[in-house]
Structure 1
Amino acid sequence: MSTTHTPVAPAPAAPEHLSTPVQAPVRWRGPLTSVALGVFSLVAFGLATPGSYETTFTLATRGDLFQIAPVTVPSRVSAVLLSLVVLAAAAVQVQRARARRRVPVWTHVVVGAAVFLALLVWVMAGREAAMPFTLLLTNALVLAVPLVLGALAGLLCERSGIINIAIEGQLLAGAFLAVVVASTTGNPYAGLLAAPFAGALVGLGLGLFAIRYRVDQIIVGVVLNVLVIGLTNYLFSTVLTNNPQQLNSPPRLPNLPVPLLADIPVLGPVLFDHPLTVYLMYVGVAVLQIMVFRSRWGLRMRAAGEHPKAADTVGINVNRTRLRSTVLGSAVAGLGGAALVSAGLAFTKELTSGKGYIALAAMILGRWSPTGALAASLFFGLADALRRVLNNTGSPIPSELLAMLPYLATIFAVAGLVGRVRPPAAEGVPYPK
């Protein structure tokens, strides 16, 4: 018996318009922002500076292993050269964007550092006072610590699916309890240990209302902020003011210099001669970077925030994971509140002054990553430190504008640099079990 084979016709070729690969869109926001910064720096900081002016930077501190002499540079030439560096880095960004390739991170670092140095050269041009560069960087790191811890708190909450607008209240509650406990016991470390409990209590309220009662998480966060502000203002006016020596005079957290490393010029004072809160920030960023992205705990937490139904299918208790992450993150924010008063500052009304919202912006700018949050917080801390240093040394910038500098930097960073970001997919969405 013979078998006949029916010839199979070849599959029709796909239409030409369907076979063409889809190209990624060109992202111009970052490169164009860098170009605008370079042009502005060249005109405002370079060409507008008189050619005869000079700028002096001091780098040495008393405890350095060896002293570095002050550095004096010609103001106009330095600002022009720094602006050209910005434009060169911007050209690299434009070329990479046109080729639809990823813009290297180092170009953004070069742009930011060069513009910042050009600003310093312009501000101090022709002045007898020198710019204390090492002190500026040291203050920037110290001022960034509460922002970093607040951003880490938001990251832990939002990676699990809970929107944390209450960072401001958590920072404030932590600062209040740290001051009261440290003043009462006379031990600053006791206040440091107590502060996370205040933040965790606020986070517990956020978690319960958001998870159990499914209240809108943004509204709950705003209400908690108002509640903590009102409660601390009332206690300050009625309790702390009546007995400030006993309840509102916290001792200062001592500096813990790292042997040998703290004596290195510039790097030593900036990185290795700080209170315990700074070193806790170092450890927190490193540990969370590994735990969030390289551990089973982090995978479960991110699954609860990205696809809770799939997480529930494989046996993860989504709501319990969210509640634990929210309380843990809020405790970290409470520790950030203790960092705010670690210099022995007395508690005052609304001590945080919007730092919780700046920390929230740092978390978004850092794309929900611990290292990204650190970099963004350092940027905002640098803006705040620059305001304080310029107020002390004098500058052509009006004092009112200097007071606005940290908040202007926040708006500029979020509007001009953040671009498109994708939050966790299930962020703010309740999960009914």
Structure 2
Amino acid sequence: MPGGSDAPETAVIRSWKAPIALGVFAVLYGLLLLLAPRGGDTTFRLSTDSDVIQLPELVVPVGLTTWIFFVLLVVLAAASAYFVRTWGRTPLWILIVYIVAFVVGFLSWAASEETIPVVGLLAGSIALAVPLIYGALGGVIGERAGVVNIAIEGQLLAGAFTAAVVASITRQPLLGLVAAMVAGAAVAFVLVAFAIKYLVDQVIVGVVLNVLVIGLTSFLYSQVLQPNAALLNSPPRFDRIPIPLLSEIPVIGPVLFRQTIVVYLMYIAVALVYVGMFHTRWGLRLRAVGEHPQAADTVGIKVNATRFWNLLLAGAIAGIGGTVFTIGAAIPFNKEMTGGAGFIALAAVIFGQWDPIKATLAALLFGFASSLQNTLNIIGSPVPSEFMLMLPYLVTIFVVAGVVGRSRAPAADGKPYIKG
């Protein structure tokens, strides 16, 4: 146009889901304070008896604290609306600060005249989030490669079963860990074989595999493990390995650096998957076959072979997550002991927008919700126990349906590739 710019205008696609959801939850929080006001003080215990550095307890007045956090929630919801209006999306830091503010405010209200063991709450969150993080990493790798990995639940359960059996027989938890990786990869092999070779709908195959693994492990548990529990179902556990100096950092040390090898491997896995996916040739090829397999094929990438090997890797990683249920805590295998963790891990993949770091943060949020449920039950919170049992799943629905905003799966996710 004369006198104007020739640069094309870029349309900004806005999703108001996040600011609306944040506003709704701020209103609900405010109604809770109005309809069920509580007084007194809440104590946050920041150290354990074994800590070298002892932090003083933090005592806060319930009334003032809860209303301060209500104002903060309203401001953050308004900030979310501003960012969506201006740039089209809500920054991740606003969501993180909002969740922290909501949790601290809610804890101050729920634990009036009680003491919250902060280290125990956070350590429990990590423990409950570990299988979700492994499952989410497997889901991210699979879907980035173009295969919908609905079978995460089956991979976790197969890993838990084989880890318990192999570790019980050999008395070597490391061998149980390796067996869990093989079992998870085996479930993934069936998924990818049907998806690539026979072009079967990936969602249907994944659902069938979950049911198959549940049925098979339940049958073997009843017919084989129970009659021979001493030999086949008495797994040893991994010992905790405190990292010198780091384990003595207040709050963070006991939570992150007094863990088992499975947790330390998780730290490494998250870092390797992130760096590998976005900063190596492997990651470029992986994302290429998930976004545009035809283009990848034209430059010499073997699309189906890339999907096949990456799905095996994804299954092996998810299989490690299954060890948390058995050799991670010296708990005998039981029927359906994963309890739907694979589906929550899948929700973390979506919430994390198919990014390994964001999916890890989402899994940590779900783990925290479960740990919070346990903590509030112990201290005798006024919140009904039925609601507390629903809490992890309510959080799942909230973040996936209300906070994610506009997200796009890899373009070729779930679509079989036929060469030529």
Provide the TM-score with structure 2 as the length reference: 0.96
SS in 2 for 1:72: strand
Q: Distance in 1 between matches of 2:411 and 2:276?
A: 20
The 2-side partners of 1:123 and 1:46 are apart by 14
Matched, 1:26 2:26: no
Of 19-28 and 273-282, deviating more is 19-28
Q: Partners of 2:389 and 2:115 in 1: how far apart?
A: 21
- Partner in structure 2 of residue 195 of structure 1: 180
Match of 2:359 among 350, 360, 373: 373
Kindly indicate whether residue 84 of structure 2 is the aligned counterpart of residue 97 of structure 1. Answer: yes
Gaps of 5+ in 2: none
Structure 1 stretches of 4+ with a deviation exceeding 4 A read 13-16
Equivalent position to 1:49, from 26, 29, 37: 37
Match of 1:314 among 283, 299, 304: 299
Equivalents in 2 of 1:335, 1:35: separation in Å?
Answer: 39
SS of 2:312 mapped into structure 1: helix
Q: Does 1:222 align with 2:207?
A: yes
Partners of 1:121 and 1:394 lie apart in 2 by: 14
- The CA deviation string for residues 393-422 of structure 1, in whole angstroms up to 9 with x for no partner, is 221122222122111111111111112211
1:118 lines up with 2:105 in the alignment: yes
1:285-304 → structure 2 map (5 Å cutoff): 285-304=270-289
Q: Distance in 2 between matches of 1:19 and 1:71?
A: 56
- Unaligned residue ranges in structure 1 (runs of 5+): 1-12
Q: Alpha carbons of 1:208 and 1:101: their partners in 2 closer, same or farther (altered >3 Å)?
A: closer
Q: Which has the higher contact order (CA 8 A, sep 6+)?
A: 2
How big is each residue's C-alpha offset from its partner over 1:346-388, in whole Å with a ceiling of 9 and x where there is no partner? 1110011100000000011001111011110000000011111
Paired position in structure 1 for 2:95: 108
SS in 2 for 1:99: helix
- Cα drift, residue 75 of structure 1: 0.7
For 1:392, the equivalent position in structure 2 comes to 378
**Equivalences for residues 168-317 of structure 1 within 5 A:** 168-317=153-302
- Would you say the 8 A contact 2:153–2:343 is kept in 1? yes
Letter in 2 for 1:317: K
The partner residue of 2:339 within 342, 353, 368 is 353
Decide whether the 8 Å contact of 1:174 with 1:335 is kept in 2: yes
Partner residue of 1:333?
A: 318
AA paired with 2:401?
A
Larger deviation, residues 165-174 vs 398-407: 398-407
1:257-301 CA deviation, whole Å, 9 max, x = no partner?
110110111111111111111111110111111101111111111
Q: Which amino acid aligns with 1:55?
A: T
The yes-or-no answer on 1:74 pairing with 2:74 is no
Q: Which of 397-406 and 189-198 deviates more? A: 397-406
1:138-197 Cα distance to aligned partner (Å, 9 max, x none): 110111110011011011111111111000000000000001111111122221121100
Q: Secondary structure at 1:131's aligned position in 2? A: strand
| Change in CA separation of 1:429 and 1:15 when aligned onto 2, cut-off 3 Å | farther
RMSD: 1.9
TM-score normalised according to structure 1 size: 0.93
In the other structure, the counterpart of 1:413 is 399
The answer to whether the 8 A contact 2:15-2:88 is kept is no
Alpha-carbon distance between aligned partners in 1 of 2:2 and 2:184, rounded to the nearest angstrom? 59
Q: Do the aligned partners of 1:155 and 1:369 also contact (CA within 8 Å) in 2?
A: yes
| 3-state SS in 2 of match to 1:345 | coil
- Report deviation, 1:103: 3.1
Q: Distance in 2 between matches of 1:354 and 1:137?
A: 22
What is the match of residue 163 of structure 1? 148
Change (3 A) 1:426 1:142: same
- Equivalent in 27, 51, 59 of residue 64 of structure 1: 51
> Residue 317 and residue 21 in structure 1: after superposition, are their counterparts in 2 closer, same or farther (change >3 A)?
closer
State the AA in 2 paired with 1:396: P
CA distance in 1 between partners of 2:257 and 2:34 (Å): 35
